[in-house]
Amino acid sequence: MEASFSSERRLLTAANYSQVFDNSCCKAGDDSFLLLARLNNLNHARLGLVIAKKKLKLAVDRNRVKRISRESFRTLQCELSGIDVIVLCRSGVVRLDKKEIRRRLDLLFDKINRSKKQIQAVSE
């Protein structure tokens, strides 16, 4: 599977975001990020980003977090197939450097993936 990040890999509408917020089955978080996920009926994963100006004042910081989040998702999307994930930013992210942001996101995506596998095993 290719590791691109095309528009079909993104949550694009408010309805898509609402479905994840209202029906999230998996959550993973720390002091910097919260990831919410729900199973979708697709054969690929989709990503949504909620990087609030209230948490990261500077546009350069918000863009950096979004870029790193997309890159982390892009490299792990094969393992995450079949879910919609939203990345929410918390205020603890301000003090993190690029490597630490990536490390934390990779760990949280892995937690989401393990939770997804447990839910799929129970529902089968």
Q: What count of other Cβ atoms lies within 10 Å of the Cβ of residue 89?
A: 24
Residue 94 confidence (pLDDT): 84
Q: Minimal CA–CA distance to 36: which of 52, 56, 16, 55?
A: 16
- Per-residue CA distances from 36 to 59, 69, 99, 113, 115 (Å): 23, 14, 22, 11, 11
Q: What count of other Cβ atoms lies within 10 Å of the Cβ of residue 17?
A: 17
What does the pLDDT look like over 20-73, one tens digit per residue? 999 888 899 999 999 999 998 888 899 999 999 999 999 999 999 999 999 999
Q: Say what the pTM is.
A: 0.89
All structural domains of the chain, each given as residue ranges with its CATH number in brackets, are: 7-123 (3.30.230.10)
